[in-house]
Amino acid sequence: MDQKTNSSVAEPQTKEFVISRTFDAPRELMFRVWTDPEHMQRWWGPKGFKVIHSKMDLRPGGIYHYGMLSPNSQEMWGRFVFREIVKPERLVFISSFSDEKGNVTRHPMHLSWPLEMLSKITFTEQAGKTTVTVRWAPLNATAEERKTFEDGFSSMQQGWGGTFEQLGEYLAKALKRELVITRILDAPRGLVWKAWTDPKQMAQWWGPEGFTNPVCKMDVRPGGAMYIVMRAPDGVEYPMTGVFQEIKEHERLVFTAVAVDEKGNHLLESLTTVTFAEHGGKTKLTVQASAVGLVAIAARMLEGMEAGWTQSLVRLERLVAKM
């Protein structure tokens, strides 16, 4: 998406409010978190506020309309009118307070607050982290409104600081998960290695209890692809694509994987490292997995990540015990 319209120009005599924060999340994910109403509903607003309405038409001229409930149960409504959308670099929109129907209103507690604000959000990535910079300035404002805006910098720092805090907590708890699982398998290392690298064997154990794998394709070499379709007991299928990053025979496997929906949209991205160590004729298997959710529904997938891996390894243990 790279869509633009002419942006209004903020009053040059008004000092611009600027605030930045760096988050441990890739830019693509950060852009989704700002442009998906389901994501916005889970973090947008000052600390302690709860979003009760979140509807977005993501296009130049489109509107994001939201409603929030304050800690003292007071409703507050607002809206963005998008002016510029450059994925995943920036968003430019006009923000205003509104009523429940989306009509522009005055600030409920500061009647001299500007009716319209030009908001510019930029996303800059470095080493897998993203710096979000917010620039705010009033539009078409009176002298009194401009003064109210500049006098409010301290409260804006506090409000945006709380908003960023909620965003950081959401990213850390809901959209990212890391785990390490170690198992001692009563089988030689070569046999366990084969169970991970032979698609016919992997199809017999991959996935939670009750799942089958009608499709399991693997090109086991650095840069080689994998494609697995897991089928749940209720018949729903969950495709996964992956790429092998590192292979050290009988010792180490590293691969990336992406869970996709029926339309091919990415839901979840993960990096998995599997190590195989001799352990008195048995195999010490260690799985290190980290995953990042790319859509709001991924939060529920991440919650089940540890249980899914645990059940998969139980199935693996049963398989190698029979070989």
Query: pLDDT tens-digit profile of 96-138?
Result: 999 999 999 999 888 999 999 999 999 999 988 999 999 999 9
Distance (Å, whole) CA 146 – CA 141:
6
Which structural domain, as residue segments, surrounds residue 290? 176-322
CATH of the domain at 29: 3.30.530.20
65 and 6 both lie in a single domain: yes
Domain check: are 160 and 189 in the same one? no
Q: What is the reported pLDDT for 137?
A: 95
40 vs 170: CA distance, rounded Å: 10
Q: What is the pLDDT of residue 2?
A: 56
- Is 52's pLDDT higher than 90? yes
Tally of domains within the chain? 2
On whether both 205 and 156 belong to a single domain, the answer is: no
pTM over 0.75: no
Q: Do 145 and 284 fall within a single domain? A: no
In 37-152, where does DSSP find H-type helix? 37-40, 143-151
- In this prediction, residue 6 has a pLDDT band, given cuts at 50, 70 and 90, of very low
* Among the ranges given (116-125, 198-207, 259-268, 270-279), the one the predictor scored with the smallest mean pLDDT: 259-268
Tell me: do 103 and 181 sit in the same domain. Answer: no
What are the E-state strand segments in the chain? 2-4, 17-23, 50-56, 63-69, 75-86, 90-98, 104-105, 116-126, 129-139, 176-185, 212-218, 225-231, 237-248, 252-260, 266-279, 282-293
Q: In terms of domains, do 137 and 207 share one?
A: no
Amino acid (one-letter) located at 51: V
The H or E element spanning position 268 is: strand 266-279
Q: pLDDT-based confidence at 74, cuts 50/70/90? A: very high
Do 21 and 138 share a domain, yes or no?
Answer: yes
Question: Domain end: 169, 201, 226, which one?
Answer: 169
Rounded-to-integer distance, Cα 239 and Cα 260, Å? 6
**133 and 54 share one domain:** yes
Q: Which stretch of 35-39, 244-248, 296-300 has the lowest confidence by average pLDDT?
A: 296-300
Same domain, 153 and 188: no
User: What percentage of the chain exceeds 70 in pLDDT?
Assistant: 96
